[in-house]
């Protein structure tokens, strides 16, 4: 049977119901395809050089380097004496990473019992400082190695770190000694909160290491997916991380990617595993992204877990 994403690559997005039916039809059967994995690592290395470029480093961003914001037109930051010392020397990850788990925040994780599975990975990436409290452990696990933090979270959840930095530093303890990956140079209003988050961690000798996302990397990854039919104004955090993982890891499993309001059992699913706050409507194109991820799942390039874990 010819599938919709072969017939209409990028032209017409199938309705949510069609996608759910397709996933049900295919089931979660998965077979690793090494040549698919090698191909995507090669494609992503050619376009975006994740090993060298995923973070802003002293190596790729010396003093005087102009960082062009990827989420704004004509806005840039020129690396100077104040910002340069905040960058890590070079890519700090021990490469290649073996088994990676990329954990999205989809409500499909709730009651999935995927926590143990996730925790068994060698490198675990999570999005947007997600809650890892006791009630979620069984479903999402406890360990993390890289966690993204959107500057808007610093603003909303921690009052921009203007009053008390303790609440922020304390709430970061659940991420152990992870890298905190912040798009500090993507949108202009995000830079100050990101730098404040850096200082809050540095001043308390936290175990966490701040990594600023390199806007050039984010831009090239955006272009990569645009050429493959993802037409969002901006990619979702989860797809950036999957792209990073495909570039750096020997094997990638993705959890919590399910931007639909019904599950495979036709029961309602909340947007996040911890709440049901929906994103701005036209900002991301998560169902479009899902179609791409499912395509990679079917070709054995990465594994998507959309149901319960054994
Ligand atoms: O900041 P953003 O809206 O991108 O992300 P989020 O809501 O914190 O969720 C993290 C990531 O999980 C998203 O970027 C998506 O890639 C993925 N996600 C999903 O696939 N389905 C959902 N229902 C929710 C999130």
310 residues of the chain, pLDDT tens digit each: 344 444 444 445 567 788 888 998 988 789 999 999 999 999 999 999 999 999 999 999 999 999 999 999 999 999 999 999 999 999 999 999 999 999 999 999 999 999 999 999 999 999 999 999 999 999 999 999 999 999 999 999 999 998 889 999 999 999 999 999 999 999 999 999 999 999 999 999 899 999 999 999 999 999 999 999 898 888 999 999 999 999 999 999 999 999 998 898 888 999 999 999 887 665 568 889 999 999 999 999 999 999 999 8
Q: Which residues pair with 147 in a beta bridge?
A: 126, 180
Q: What is the position in ligand 1's atom list of the atom closest to the CA of 127? A: 10
**64 C-alpha to center of ligand 1: Å?**
35
Contact 151 CB / ligand 1 (< 6 Å):
no
Contact 127 CB / ligand 1 (< 6 Å):
yes
What tokens does 248 get?
Answer: 């750096």
**270 C-alpha to center of ligand 1: Å?**
12
Q: Are 208 and 175 in contact (CB under 8 A)?
A: yes
**60 C-alpha to center of ligand 1: Å?**
29
Contact 258 CB / ligand 1 (< 6 Å):
yes
What tokens does 167 get?
Answer: 């609440």
What tokens does 125 get?
Answer: 């990436």
User: How many Å apart are CA 15 and CA 227, to the nearest integer?
Assistant: 21
Contact 278 CB / ligand 1 (< 6 Å):
no
**147 C-alpha to center of ligand 1: Å?**
13
Contact 257 CB / ligand 1 (< 6 Å):
yes
SS3 labels along the chain: CCCHHHHCCCCCCCCHHHHHHHHHHHCCCCCCCHHHHHHHHHHHHHHHCHHHHCECECCCCCCCCEEECCCCCCCEEECCCCCHHHCECCCCCCCCEEEEEEECCEHHHCCCCCHHHHHCCCEEEECCCCCCCHHHHHHHCCCCCEEECCHHHHHHHCHHHCCCCHHHHHHHHHHCCCEEEECCCCCHHHHHHHHHHHHHHHHCCCCCEEEEECHHHHHHHHHHHHCCCCCCCCCCHHHHHHHHHHHHEEEEEEECCCCCCECCCCCECCCECCCCCCCCCCCCCHHHHHHHHHHHHHCCCCEEECCCCC
ipTM field? 0.99
Give the neighbor-by-neighbor strand order of the sheet with 209-212: 209-212, 179-182, 146-148, 123-126, 97-103, 249-255, 303-305
What tokens does 163 get?
Answer: 């009053």
Tell me the best of 107, 118, 127, 252 to mutate to test the pocket of ligand 1, counting ligand atoms within 8 Å of each CB and taking the most: 127
Contact 269 CB / ligand 1 (< 6 Å):
no
């Amino acid at each position: 049977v010819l599938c919709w994403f072969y017939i209409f690559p990028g032209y017409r997005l199938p309705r949510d119901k069609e996608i759910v039916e397709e996933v049900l039809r295919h089931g979660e059967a998965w077979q690793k395809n090494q040549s698919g994995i090698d191909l995507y690592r090669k494609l992503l290395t050619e376009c975006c050089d994740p090993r060298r470029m995923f973070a802003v480093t002293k190596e790729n961003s010396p003093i005087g380097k102009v960082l062009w914001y990827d989420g704004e037109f004509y806005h840039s930051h020129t690396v100077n004496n104040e910002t340069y010392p905040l960058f890590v020397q070079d890519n700090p990850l021990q490469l290649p990473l073996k088994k990676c788990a990329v954990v999205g925040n989809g409500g499909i994780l709730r009651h999935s019992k995927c926590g143990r599975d996730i925790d068994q990975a060698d490198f675990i990436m999570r999005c947007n400082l997600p809650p890892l409290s006791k009630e979620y452990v069984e479903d999402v696990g406890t360990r993390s190695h890289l966690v993204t933090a959107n500057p808007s979270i610093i603003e909303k959840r921690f009052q921009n770190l203007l009053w008390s930095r303790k609440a922020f530093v304390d709430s970061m303890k659940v991420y152990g000694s992870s890298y905190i990956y912040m798009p500090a140079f993507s949108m202009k209003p995000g830079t100050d909160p990101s730098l404040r988050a850096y200082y809050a961690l540095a001043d308390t000798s936290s175990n966490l290491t701040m990594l600023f996302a390199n806007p050039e990397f984010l831009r090239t990854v955006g272009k990569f997916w645009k050429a493959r039919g993802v037409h969002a104004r901006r990619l979702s955090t989860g797809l950036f991380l999957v792209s990073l993982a495909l570039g750096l890891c020997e094997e990638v499993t993705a959890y919590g990617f399910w931007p639909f309001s019904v599950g495979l059992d036709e029961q309602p699913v909340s947007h996040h595993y911890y709440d049901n706050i929906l994103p701005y409507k036209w900002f991301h194109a998560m169902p479009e992204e899902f179609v791409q991820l499912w395509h990679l799942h079917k070709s054995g390039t990465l594994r998507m877990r959309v149901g319960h874990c054994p």
